[in-house]
Amino acid sequence: MRLASSSDSMFQRCAYYVSLSSGALRMELTELEPQGPYRLIVDDAATRHIEYFAKSNDALKRWAQFDAVMRPTAPFDVPLDHRAPTVTAH
């Protein structure tokens, strides 16, 4: 899978968390092509977890799940993707 050229409609989101029990954790969500697919990378000093999603809402929901674990007092709110749905064949 290749990364797309940059475009105004593409996004990338990155967050860092630090806890006494888990150490440092980094999450990165990247839109690989306009309208998807989306790649979520979650890694710490010892492991790397990568997931791919066809829809941005699914990727954002998964991001929110990891975020809720790292910040248990944060509200669980997923922004909606208002773009027209698309089907991507691979």
Angle formed at CA 26 by CA 24 and CA 29, multiple of 5 degrees: 170
| Predicted TM-score of the model (pTM) | 0.65
Q: How far apart are the first and last CA of the chain?
A: 10
Span 53-88, pLDDT tens digits: 999 899 999 988 888 887 767 555 656 665 555 555
Q: Which of 1-10, 23-32, 75-84 is predicted with the least confidence, judged by mean pLDDT?
A: 1-10
What is the mean predicted confidence (pLDDT) over 42-48? Answer: 88
Does residue 85 form part of some domain?
no
Domain that holds residue 40: 12-70
Q: How many domains does the chain have?
A: 1
φ, ψ at 18 (rounded to 5°): -130, 130
Q: Which pLDDT does position 58 carry in this prediction?
A: 93
In a domain, residue 31? The reply is: yes
* Percentage above 90 pLDDT, the chain: 30
Phi/psi for 10 (5° steps) reads -85, 150
